Amino acid sequence: HDVARIASERLPAHLAAIPGGPLKAPAKALAEAFRLTDDDIFRALGSRVEFSGSTGVVVMLDPARRTLHVGNVGDSRAVLGRCVGGKWSAEALTDDLKPDHPEEKRRILQSGGVVLALVGEDGEDVGPARVWDSPARQKPGLAVSRSLGDGASRRLGVIAEPVVTTRRLSPEDRVLVIGTDGLWDTIESEHAVRIAGELLDSGSHGAAAKALFDAVRHEEGGMLMDDTTFVLVAL
């Protein structure tokens, strides 16, 4: 996927190029890096970016302050796994930025967009809310309210500006799972961090990744129905 490839190359490069480093002003650095990366995507792909885009989550660790700074566009998700007394729990560090989120929907409507689900064969709404250019629901049909690329949706209020959050780490915070919706639409967050956390704690990084993929395949009947990409980080 060209958009995702460009984003994976350019976002880290833009963060690394910030004078004084991105941790000097994390929120400003993340916003600027996402903006410049979006510009790179449009410049590289031209008209091909009209109906092509990507979600994006960036997590920066400030080791001196034991703090995470998270920038997010779209519905990929960063989830923190905590272990207290041998029991794992999950804490989402990002919100899924969907078109029917109240603040997101307001911006889309003010920009002339329409937020509705797909129409099924029986005339009833099916699936998640999407962004359309008219009530006819013919295009673009994007199911997120922020993204990189997606030129046809940009004029309808879909933006590339990340939502930035900060979280100070505690000794109980043990694992970070950053993944696309193919993971989170299939597996509950607490299940994912328990699978990953128990294996990462034993040093089995490869086994942790395989176990998560296997869990998704099991829930999907032996297949991966959607993009399932994730990163595991032992803290």
Residue 163, pLDDT > 90, answer yes
Q: Which residues contact 208 (CB under 8 A, 6 or more apart)?
A: 195, 196, 199, 200, 232
Give the H or E element holding residue 92. strand 87-92
Which amino acid, 36? L
What residues form DSSP beta bridges with 85? Answer: none
- H or E stretch including 233? strand 230-234
Q: Does pLDDT of 48 surpass 70? A: yes
Contact at 8 Å (CB) between 142 and 52? no
Question: Taking residues 162-186, what's their average pLDDT?
Answer: 95
- CA gap 163, 12 in Å, rounded: 17
pLDDT digit string (tens) for 96-120? Answer: 999 999 999 999 999 999 999 999 9
Quote the tokens at residue 117.
Answer: 């689900």
What local confidence, expressed as pLDDT, does residue 224 receive? 66
Whether residue 218 has pLDDT greater than 90: no
What the block records as the tokens of 224 is 């991966």
